[in-house]
Amino acid sequence: MTTADTPYRAIFCDLLSDRTIDILPLRDVTVDDYIGKAGSLSGTIPVPDPAMAARVRRIEEGRTSVYLQRGNDLWWGGIVWTSTLQSDDRGILTLGIQAATFESYAGRRRIRADLNFQNTEQLSVARKLWEHLQTGHFADESGPTAAGGDIKVTYGYETPAQSQNRSVAYRDGDETVYLEALDALAAQENGFEHHIGVYRDPVTGERVRRLRLGSPTIKIGTTDLVMDRPGSVLSYSFPRDATRGGTTARARGATDNTNQAVESRPLYADADIAVGAALIAAGYPRIDLASDHNDVASTTILKSLANAELAEGVGAVVIPEISVRLDDLVPPALLGRTVRLRIADEWWTEGLDARYRIVGVKVSPAQRGRPDTAELYLEEAA
C-alpha cells in the first residue's frame, strides 16, 4: 500500500500527546476491530534508503500510536506494540509492525489502589475505571495526577436503557488488570458493551479517541444499511457451532485459601447453575458450560455471570459473516450499525430479509488489482 495508489494513509503519532510524527507507506495491511475486545493492525514499512530509515526509526514500540485514514475519515486507531526489522536475501529492508486498538492499553495497566463501588450504575463504574487508569484518581476527587497514564481517551455520558447498579471492589495488591475488570463487569447479566472509536472532530479537525458504552448493546445510526446479494455483498457464511453453546452454565469464583487445614476449592454453589429449561423441554440435550473468574468472591456476581454466559451461548452459536466492497456508501463507523441483509439464492429460495448488528469488522485495503473490501461479523439485531 502506497500513498500513490490507495486512499489509505498510515499516520504515526506520539501516544501521550497525539502529536503527528510522520505519515509513512504501509504495505500488506490487515486491520480489524470489534465491540468488546481489542482489534489489531499489522503491516510492513519499506525501508529503501538511509533517509527512510531515519524516519522509520522514530517509531518507538509502546509509545507510538498509528491511525489508518481512508480518504478524510479515520477507520482505525491504536498503539504500536511490537516491530520486526527484516532484511531478505537481496538486502531489501522492511519493518513489520503490529498494533492493537487503544483498549489494549487497559490490558497493560493494573489497579494499584483500593477501589470500592457500592450500588453504582455500571456505566458509571466503567467510566470511573478509565478515569482512574488515566489520572490515578476520579474526576470528582482532588489529588495528584499519576504521570504517564493519560492516553487522551475521552468519554460521554450514555444513558442506559435500564439502570443496572453494581457493587464491586478492587484491592491494592491484587494486581487486577483494568481491562479484565471492565470485561468482568460487562459480562454480567444485563451487562454492557464497550469500544474505543476514533474520528476527527467535525469542528476542529483534531483526532478523537472516544470510549463508547452501550447498555445492553452499542447501537449507532438511525437507519439500516441495506446490503443485497446479488449486489454489494460479495460473499457470505453462516457458521453454526454447537460446541460453543450449551443448556447449562456455572461460573466459579476465587479460591478460598484462608483455612490451610482443608483443600482449597473455588467458590461456587449448586444455586449458581443456570439452566436453559425451555431448550431442554423442547428436546435439546443437557450440555454444560463452565467458566472461572479468579477475582470474583461473590456468589451473586457468579450467578449473574452464569446467566449471561448461558444467554450468550444458547444452543448452537451462529456468527454470520459477509464480505462487502468498500465504497462511498459504506460509512467509517460500522461497529454497532444495523444491517438489513437481503439474500436470494439456491439456499434462500424464498429470500432472506433479516436485520443484524455489526459487532466486528476486518478491512482489506486494495492491492494487486483487488478492490477494497470489508468482512463484517454480525449478530441478530434485537
Whether pLDDT at 11 is above 50: yes
For 209, residues 6+ apart whose C-beta sits below 8 A from its C-beta are 77, 102, 151, 152, 153, 154, 196, 197, 198
| Common-topology check for domains 110-214 and 225-239+319-380 | no
pLDDT for the residue 153: 97
Mean pLDDT, the chain, whole residue set: 89
Segment 333-348, tens digit of pLDDT:
899 999 999 999 999 9
User: Amino acid letter at 27?
Assistant: R
Helix (H) or strand (E) holding 171: none
> Minimum mean pLDDT among 77-81, 150-154, 230-234, 270-274: which range?
270-274
pLDDT for the residue 267: 73
Architecture field, domain 8-49+57-101: Roll (2.30)
Segment 161-181, tens digit of pLDDT:
889 999 999 999 999 999 999
d(CA 303, CA 309): 10
pLDDT for the residue 266: 73
Cβ-based neighbour number of residue 377 at 10 Å: 19
The angle formed by the CA atoms of residues 286, 291 and 292, to the nearest 5 degrees, is: 150
Q: Where are the domains of the chain?
A: 8-49+57-101, 110-214, 225-239+319-380, 244-312
**Shortest CA distance to 77 belongs to which of 209, 212, 213, 219?**
209
Grade residue 4 by pLDDT with cuts at 50, 70 and 90. very low
Segment 194-219, tens digit of pLDDT:
999 999 999 999 999 999 999 999 99
Is residue 109 within 8 Å of residue 170, measured between CB atoms?
Answer: no
Percent of the chain with pLDDT over 90: 61
Grade residue 2 by pLDDT with cuts at 50, 70 and 90. very low
Segment 258-305, tens digit of pLDDT:
555 556 677 775 566 888 888 888 888 988 888 888 777 788 888 888
Query: DSSP state, 160?
Result: P
Is residue 34 within 8 Å of residue 335, measured between CB atoms?
Answer: yes
User: Amino acid letter at 156?
Assistant: G
For 30, residues 6+ apart whose C-beta sits below 8 A from its C-beta are 40, 41, 42, 43, 362, 364
* Domain 110-214, CATH: 3.55.50
> Minimum mean pLDDT among 32-36, 89-93, 253-257, 345-349: which range?
253-257
Q: Is the domain 225-239+319-380 a CATH 2.30.300.10 member?
A: yes
What are the distances in angstroms from CA 102 to CA 216, 254, 297, 361?
Answer: 22, 29, 29, 16
Is residue 362 within 8 Å of residue 31, measured between CB atoms?
Answer: yes
Segment 296-330, tens digit of pLDDT:
778 888 888 888 888 877 766 778 999 998 876 67
